[in-house]
Amino acid sequence: MIEVDNLTKRFGQRLAVDRLSFQVNKGDILGFLGPNGAGKSTTLNIITGYLSATEGSVRVGGHDVLEEPVAAKRQIGFLPEHPPLYLDMTVHEYLGFVAELKSVATRARRAEVEKAMQLLRIADVGSRLIKNLSKGYRQRTGLAQALIGSPSILILDEPTIGLDPRQIIETRELIKELGREHTIILSSHILAEVSAVCNRVLIINQGRIAAIDTPENLSRGTAGRLTLRVAGSEDVVLGALRQVPHVQRLRSQAVRESGTVDVLVEAEEGQDVRRQVSAALARAGLAILMMRSSDLSLEEIFLNLVTGEKEEF
């Protein structure tokens, strides 16, 4: 559905996007992640046709964004971080206006607007001025405008920003529902949201791809981890574990049982240290009360890839 090939964007001497290449397949819900200044918004703006690339190309639904801009843009519904709402219009007036801008056939506009309002569950506020709506309803209205014209691709930039916890959950479920019929790119700083919604994740850093895969494969592809509960004091337990070969990091966690310590053990990639850990603790006279594998969270993967942060204990 989307093909990005060797995409480069410069602003004067600053290189914002550096030879970026990736594909988004039909039916994907792709989480697009990166720290501030990584080039996410620039990349999305080039895909949607708001910016031109310095080098490289983007094809949307088989149409080159530069050479066939109208045909490419018809494939895309875009929800920017700050939805372009006209506050003095009613919801119904605004969506009708958007339908006109998108050149939806006159005879089909009413049905198109009603369909979007029903799907986003905003029909009950259709006659209200947008300026009188809550943040949640405004966000839904912004998402409804992205759906006008029945685009095959939705690009959502921070769709849950500023929402309360209940609204966030509702919006996540809505995105999952939309994913049944649309290919989606979801840009978000809320990593739990990406884990809950997306089937693929692309992490960008300094304008380049740091990783692209499913969340599950990203977790499995990192160094193996164990979570232990050991009877003993923290100093003695950590001291014994530091003697185990191939252990890279140790992190003590909250005490959940009196007289014990919970420890997260991270080993070098490809190393299974369970036997060595058991032997080291046995030599120290320490009993293992629990041992289980523990994958990296998406947040930890993100930090490792874009900052190289490591904690030593």
| pLDDT tens digits for range 252-268 | 887 888 899 999 898 88
Whether 160 has a pLDDT exceeding 50, the answer reads yes
Confidence at 295, pLDDT banded by 50, 70, 90:
low
Tell whether 260 and 150 lie within a shared domain.
no
What is d(CA 202, CA 22) in angstroms, rounded to the nearest whole number? 9
Whether 308 has a pLDDT exceeding 60, the answer reads no
Confidence at 183, pLDDT banded by 50, 70, 90:
very high
Q: How far is CA 55 from the centre of its chain?
A: 26
Tell whether 175 and 255 lie within a shared domain.
no
Q: Cβ atoms within 10 A of the Cβ of 85, count?
A: 17
Report if residue 306 sits inside a domain.
Answer: no
What is d(CA 60, CA 2) in angstroms, rounded to the nearest whole number? 5
Report if residue 299 sits inside a domain.
Answer: no
Residue 249 Cα distances to 81, 157, 211, 225, 304, angstroms: 37, 35, 22, 9, 13
29-33 vs 225-231, strand pairing mode: unpaired
pLDDT attached to residue 310: 45
- In the chain, % of residues over pLDDT 70: 94
Whether 204 has a pLDDT exceeding 60, the answer reads yes
Report if residue 305 sits inside a domain.
Answer: no
Tell whether 245 and 123 lie within a shared domain.
no
Report if residue 214 sits inside a domain.
Answer: yes
Query: Using an 8 Å Cβ cutoff, are 187 and 203 in contact?
Result: no
pLDDT attached to residue 243: 92
Report if residue 139 sits inside a domain.
Answer: yes
Residues 159, 163, 167, CA angle at the centre, nearest 5°?
90
User: Which of 177, 201, 219 is the last residue before a domain boundary?
Assistant: 219
Confidence at 221, pLDDT banded by 50, 70, 90:
very low
- In the chain, % of residues over pLDDT 90: 56
Whether 110 has a pLDDT exceeding 90, the answer reads yes
Mean of the per-residue pLDDT values of the chain: 88
Tell whether 275 and 179 lie within a shared domain.
no
Higher pLDDT, 93 or 162: 93
Confidence at 223, pLDDT banded by 50, 70, 90:
very low
The total number of residues shown for the chain amounts to 313
Tell whether 59 and 192 lie within a shared domain.
yes
Report if residue 304 sits inside a domain.
Answer: no
Tell whether 79 and 196 lie within a shared domain.
yes
Report if residue 308 sits inside a domain.
Answer: no
| pTM listed for this prediction | 0.74
| Mean pLDDT of the region 76-96 | 93
pLDDT attached to residue 224: 67
Domain count, the chain: 2
| Mean pLDDT of the region 10-31 | 93
pLDDT attached to residue 34: 87
Tell whether 158 and 111 lie within a shared domain.
yes
Nearest by Cα to 77 from 10, 19, 163, 159: 159
* Edge-to-edge strands, sheet with 29-33: 76-79, 153-157, 183-187, 29-33, 200-205, 208-213
pLDDT attached to residue 311: 42
Query: What is the number of alpha carbons within 13 Å of residue 301 lying toward its C-beta?
Result: 29
Confidence at 100, pLDDT banded by 50, 70, 90:
very high
Confidence at 277, pLDDT banded by 50, 70, 90:
very high
Residue 90 DSSP SS3: strand
The domain containing residue 228 runs over which residues? 223-294
AA letter at 138 = R
pLDDT attached to residue 111: 93
In the 8-state DSSP scheme, what is residue 297?
A: P
183-187 vs 208-213, strand pairing mode: unpaired
Nearest by Cα to 265 from 231, 236, 303, 237: 237
Whether 81 has a pLDDT exceeding 90, the answer reads no
The tokens describing 173, both together, are 């479920």
Confidence at 96, pLDDT banded by 50, 70, 90:
very high
Tell whether 245 and 282 lie within a shared domain.
yes
Report if residue 248 sits inside a domain.
Answer: yes
Confidence at 312, pLDDT banded by 50, 70, 90:
very low
Confidence at 296, pLDDT banded by 50, 70, 90:
low
Confidence at 215, pLDDT banded by 50, 70, 90:
confident
